[in-house]
Amino acid sequence: MGIQAVKGVEIGDGFALAALRGSEAHDEIVPGLRRGTNRAGGIEAGVSNGEEVVLRAAMKPLPTLMRPLQTVDLDTGEPSEALVERSDTAAVEALAVVAEAAVAFELARAGGDAIGDFVAAHRAYLERIDWTPG
């Protein structure tokens, strides 16, 4: 929620999961040690589960209306209409760029400060659990 104009964020099926029973919301593990679905959006308990990270952000409506809303004249206190001064037409595209950069930054911050750190940590994890891809 640190991105201007974003009023809601969900990971995976986020808000829709709140209406489901737990048995309907979980991602079952299937043969091959993978998930059959990705309702969690790749994040479980704040940790990547190896699936694709899916994040959605809801942006507030654009602030400019071509049909002005009612307001109050600050000098007189009388009812008035707001003025149409500008019209934002490309805010969603800009949000996509900013949101992608913010998510990339947070993922990098959570996973280490360099790709080499990530690769070394992954290698150490695989050695610790004595697992090799099959």
- Give percent above pLDDT 70 in the chain: 91
CA distance 23 to 39: 12
Q: Is the pTM of this model over 0.75?
A: no
Q: How does residue 83 score in pLDDT terms, banded at 50, 70 and 90?
A: confident
Q: Read off the pLDDT of each residue in 14-26 and give the average, rounded to a whole number.
A: 92
Question: Residue 104: its pLDDT value, please?
Answer: 82
Q: Which is higher by pLDDT, 113 or 117?
A: 117
Task: Return the pLDDT at 60.
Answer: 87
Average pLDDT on 87-109 reads 82
